[in-house]
Amino acid sequence: MKTLIWIQGLTCNGNTQSLLNAENPYFYELFSKIELLYHPSLSIDNNLLEIIRDIEKGHINLDFLVVEGAITKNKNFCRIGEFSIGEIIEKLKNKASYIIAVGNCAANGNFPALYDKNNDVSGLQFKFEEKDGFLPSDFKTKSGYPVINISGCPIHPAWFTQTLLALYYNRKIYLDKLNRPKELFMYLPHDGCIRNEYFEWKTEAEEFGTKEGCLFYNLGCRGPLTHAPCNKILWNRISSKTRAGMPCIGCTEYNFPLNENFFETKKNMGIPEEVPLGVSKRTYILISGVAKTLKNERTSKKLEETD
């Protein structure tokens, strides 16, 4: 049976909470295939150091090392027994077949790195968008993969289980420039958004929680600017932010949460400072101008009023 260790650095524990909500497979189904050697919140025995010694001696094979939370080089913080989080990673990095960073903090440093005044904090292999993390930029595990980043704040549990099972069954995973699985992060929340009709006709929402209107132009939605499959792999199999009338806040990106105001679209002379990915400002202005000169009867009414 393949084995897995889950350790935590500087974290709010949100990705662990998300993992407990995993479906298809459920949490217990996943770990009936993979032996969970240690998890700081879920293990009954606090025997990580004993497990590490057995791994170093070759008595236990480590297949998956999962890291939640940012990594600090300051050895006085984030300690497990006699070792800091960084020292534990150093002990295990060449023993694990795969290393998976779950959540933005582990992948890119994000929140902890943003407020780190001493430049001690980063993700495992990245700090924001630069390969300037705790591990060297050219680091690879025994399998030949670099650290595999599953970004999010928190991640959707299916993003983790899908990646883990692909590796379990020796399926090849293609990674993007931030080492995220392309199968997941080649999509945008804009893809599959039920408000796309309003986006096309430039019918804008003016308030939160409504069923009608696009949230991009006025309310700061970053769905067209963010890499995540939130409207393809729904949360709790039911919904997403935009389906509930809440703008996407870009929480899977390396620069989250650098926006000063999540719920406002910054504009210059009425034009959004950032336009959808793959579109030039000139093209966006042209398409928007054409759409606004026309009228779609469906998008101009409340959905309950349409036939």
More confident residue, 300 or 193: 193
pLDDT of residue 306: 67
pLDDT over threshold 90, residue 303: no
- Tens digit of pLDDT for each residue in 103-132? 999 999 999 999 888 899 999 999 999 999
Q: How many CA atoms lie within 13 A of 230 on its CB side?
A: 30
How many percent of the chain have pLDDT more than 90? 80
pTM of the predicted model, to two decimals? 0.94
The set of residues, in sequence order, having a beta carbon less than 8 Å from that of 295 and lying 6+ positions away, is none
- Tens digit of pLDDT for each residue in 208-221? 988 999 999 999 99
- Beta strands 2-8; 34-38: pairing state: parallel
18-27, 61-70, 124-133, 297-306: least confidently modelled range: 297-306
Which two three-digit tokens encode residue 118? 């001493």
> What average pLDDT is seen over the chain?
94
Delineate the domains of the chain, giving CATH numbers in brackets: 2-181 (3.40.50.700), 187-300 (4.10.480.10)
Place of tokens 């409504």: 210
Mean pLDDT on 146-164:
97
pLDDT over threshold 80, residue 165: yes
